[in-house]
Structure 1
Amino acid sequence: MNIVLVGLMGSGKTAVGRLLAERLGRPFVDTDRLVEADAGRTVADIFAAEGEEGFRRREAEVVARAAAGDNQVIATGGGAVLRTENREALRRTGFVIWLDAEPETLYDRARGQGLHRRPLLSGPDPLGRLRALAAARRPFYAQTAHVRICTDRRSLQDVVAEIMEKLQERGERG
């Protein structure tokens, strides 16, 4: 069974996923990086050339491929849960964990990584956009995830430790 991390940009999916995969001795898969590798360009470039719909099409192909694997830690893009087929594939083949954080935390993290890397935050009010995205996507994350873990003001180690506890509760082996 895969372990799948979902949540908005800046929630910690990639950083937590890498550390979790290392601790569990599993391969780490980042769907955004797979989309970039397949396209030969960055997510921002894909958005600029193909729009969000073009990116989402590419993302759905990659999510299906990743979900078909086994015993991996998968970090999805923040909008992967928008498509029904993605939600179903991820939930069917993995233990899905929603990494959640307040929009202000997400904004601070995204700003620290460079807002230019986040096409959905381009515009005059990135924090307002994050708030809107959080409100719109919350039902999709809730529908997809088996558990929700808050990452506000928590270290990577604390979040990974909580995930390990959840896995033990489910009887999953690391």
Structure 2
Amino acid sequence: MKNIILVGMMSSGKTTIGKKLAQKLGYNFVDLDQLIVEDQGMEITEIFSQHGEAYFRKVETELLNKLRPDQKLVIASGGGTPCFNNNMETINNLGISVYLDLPASVLAQRIRRHNKDDRPILSGAESLEDVLNKKISERSPDYNLAHYKISAEYSTSELVEIISGYIVEEGV
């Protein structure tokens, strides 16, 4: 059984959808950011402030490389994971990759609603939507290398059904 790897911006729904998709398929769910927190014994904001982004990306890549294809995993990648160290190639080799695409305006609403303004890439941001638009522009070339791209504006249950359909398409 192939793994499913969800990629996309912060607050695009990777964790929420990933957990429900794993449950539906009888897969295990893995949140790459949570693996990093457990491995390092500190929150991501602490890792960034104490060690910097380069260190964080190194750890992220090392942990991603420890995962193996055909483990029956649904993996929620970090928002920037696909954009460093050839990680998108690794992700595509791990299984079926799905880009959850959302416009900056929707991402900003979700971030505000969940009070998730403690994200390292948002610190010192002048306008949340401007920062998100810039990040989307920078990251889209990597995200668009995913096997599938879907608008994450569907409901969670609709997205789980659509992504489950990709598994059938792949003959898994």
What interval of TM-score do these two structures reach, taking the shorter chain for normalisation? over 0.9
Q: Give the root-mean-square deviation of aligned CA atoms.
A: 1.4
Letter paired with 1:140: D
Q: Write out aligned runs for 1:133-148 (5 A).
A: 133-143=135-145, 145-148=146-149
> Aligned with 1:116: secondary structure?
coil
Q: Write out aligned runs for 1:118-137 (5 A).
A: 118-123=119-124, 124-137=126-139
Counterpart for residue 150 of structure 2: 149
Shift in Å, 1:112: 1.9
Runs of 4+ in 1 over 3 A off after TM superposition: none
Letter paired with 1:79: G
> Aligned with 1:77: secondary structure?
coil
What does the per-residue CA deviation read over 1:64-100, in whole Å, with 9 as the maximum and x for residues that have no partner? 1124561111010010111243112211121000011
Tell me how far apart the structure 2 counterparts of residues 96 and 34 of structure 1 sit (CA, whole Å). 19
Higher helix proportion: 1
Counterpart for residue 100 of structure 2: 99
Letter paired with 1:60: T
Counterpart for residue 88 of structure 1: 89
Letter paired with 2:115: G
Tell me how far apart the structure 1 counterparts of residues 36 and 70 of structure 2 sit (CA, whole Å). 16
Gaps of 5+ in 1: none
1:69/1:46 CA distance change after superposition, 3 Å: farther
Counterpart for residue 110 of structure 1: 111
2:110 equivalent to 1:77: no
Length-normalised TM-score, structure 2: 0.93
Tell me how far apart the structure 2 counterparts of residues 28 and 118 of structure 1 sit (CA, whole Å). 22
CA contact (8 A) 1:30 1:74 kept: yes
CA contact (8 A) 1:4 1:74 kept: yes
Tell me how far apart the structure 2 counterparts of residues 134 and 115 of structure 1 sit (CA, whole Å). 17
CA contact (8 A) 1:103 1:127 kept: yes
Tell me how far apart the structure 2 counterparts of residues 168 and 33 of structure 1 sit (CA, whole Å). 29
Percent identity of equivalent pairs: 36
Tell me how far apart the structure 1 counterparts of residues 110 and 68 of structure 2 sit (CA, whole Å). 27
Indicate the larger mover: 45-54 or 71-80. 45-54
> Aligned with 1:4: secondary structure?
strand
> Aligned with 1:129: secondary structure?
helix
Indicate the larger mover: 134-143 or 50-59. 50-59
Shift in Å, 1:101: 0.3
CA contact (8 A) 1:6 1:77 kept: yes
Gaps of 5+ in 2: none
CA contact (8 A) 1:44 1:117 kept: yes
Length-normalised TM-score, structure 1: 0.92
CA contact (8 A) 1:5 1:76 kept: yes
Q: How many residues align?
A: 170
